Amino acid sequence: MSDIDRLVKSFLSTLAIIITIGLIMVWSASFILAAEKFGSSYHYIIRQLIYLSLSVVLAFIVSRTKYTFWIKYGYLINIAASMIVALTIVKGIGSAAKGASRWLTFGGMSLQPGEIVKFTVILSAISFFENWNKMDTKERLKHGGSLFLPLLLLIKQPDFGSFSICFLVIAFVCFMSSFPRKAFYISLLGGGVGAVMILFSQAYRVKRMLTYLDPWKNPQGSGFQIVQSYMAFANGSAFGQGLGNSNEKLFYLPEAHNDFIFSVIGEELGFVGVFLIICLFIAFIYFGFRLVLQVKNRVGIILGSAVIFVLGLQALLNMGVVLGLLPTKGLNLPFISYGGSSLICNFFGIGLLLSVVKGYREQLQENLKFDGRKERETLANVENGNEEVYV
């Protein structure tokens, strides 16, 4: 077994463990809520299994395609994704909740387009920054405008969490690309200043910042969610209350099966469970980057690295929020939290990464075939006396 095969096996095995724990915890965190709301304790877990099945199929299909196809049409794919995001803020089409219009609802199903944009901006950014020196001013403005369009729409929803991830992944791709260094640092500084201005432009975001600094100031109001999260971790102690025995999920902790599922893990599995999840995500990121670095193709490395960056960053932000280390944002824990849009889009990213690996393997096979043909031709020439052999 080659090094790349071992890394693929380790990467997918780690992912499988994370997903398995996620399914168990979605079931544990949601069965009481599901019974109360829908009359069936299995409502959320069945839907999550359906989403997982669709996600695996999608990842397999994407992995069998050429990753160059996705980058070639990344510009158009990102525009299409942006148009879907735009529908969420159209009255009568988008579905609003908690003051934000982030969902499209149809046929009893809901879609959060902001999830797919996290990956489409990668495709568009690679195409934009890698071809920067080949573009004229008009092309740069056109392509750049389409790249940053979804960020403006995410702010309009508003969804500052997804906006932050998209902004950071664009900066990551820009740094990894052949984009001029000086221009990169100037753009990063300007973008950072703009992001801070956006952060403080709305009163509710300032309120979240103040709540983050002192959630106990209003434990029954703005600080309720994070205080309940603290209590969940405190109840869990070292070894937890036992699987299924969380008290906070009994309608105390909002979004217990979604954004704050890490709190339920802390309460039911304790510090041991929390430490296990952190170690699994570290291993996932480690094997992911190791796998990408095996690829001897610049664009493939950027694409694969950006996918791992997005998934690792979201996991880090979610854990930081739940532990009270970061202000509250509407970000779930990849592969563990309940949610079809997130799961399907994350697996789309996994498919892109595996497509990069597949492309590298095909390149290796072509090189081996070429070397084999060349060697056979050389031997044939020697045998026919057409080529001298130097000793």
Partnered with residue 97 across adjacent β-strands are 100
Q: Is the pLDDT of residue 366 over 80?
A: no
With a pLDDT cut of 90, the percent of the chain lying above it is 63
The reported pLDDT for the residue numbered 14 is 98
Q: Is the pLDDT of residue 335 over 80?
A: yes
Partnered with residue 104 across adjacent β-strands are 94, 111
- The pair of structure tokens assigned to 300 is 């493939």
Residues in contact with 355: Cβ distance below 8 Å, sequence separation at least 6, in sequence order: 62, 63, 64, 65, 66, 67, 70
Tell me the C-alpha distance between 368 and 370, whole Å: 5
More confident: 368 or 175: 175
The reported pLDDT for the residue numbered 371 is 56
Rounded to an integer, the average pLDDT of 247-274 is 92
- The separation between the first and the last C-alpha atoms of the chain, rounded to the nearest angstrom, is 35
Confidence of residue 382 (pLDDT cuts 50, 70, 90): very low
The reported pLDDT for the residue numbered 198 is 87
The reported pLDDT for the residue numbered 157 is 85
pTM for the full model?
A: 0.91
At 285-306, the pLDDT tens digits run: 999 999 999 988 899 999 999 9
Backbone angles phi, psi at 298, to 5 degrees: -60, -50
Query: What does DSSP say about strands 109-111 and 94-97: parallel, antiparallel, or unpaired?
Result: unpaired
The reported pLDDT for the residue numbered 158 is 84
Tell me the C-alpha distance between 33 and 41, whole Å: 8
At 184-205, the pLDDT tens digits run: 999 999 999 998 888 888 887 8
**What are the structural domain ranges in the chain?**
3-363
Rounded to an integer, the average pLDDT of 74-98 is 85
Mean pLDDT of the chain: 89
Confidence of residue 255 (pLDDT cuts 50, 70, 90): confident
Rounded to an integer, the average pLDDT of 129-136 is 90
Tell me the C-alpha distance between 117 and 159, whole Å: 12
The reported pLDDT for the residue numbered 97 is 67
In the DSSP assignment, the letter for residue 92 is: T
Tell me the C-alpha distance between 19 and 332, whole Å: 14
Tell me the C-alpha distance between 71 and 201, whole Å: 34
Q: Is the pLDDT of residue 389 over 50?
A: no
- The pair of structure tokens assigned to 185 is 């640092």
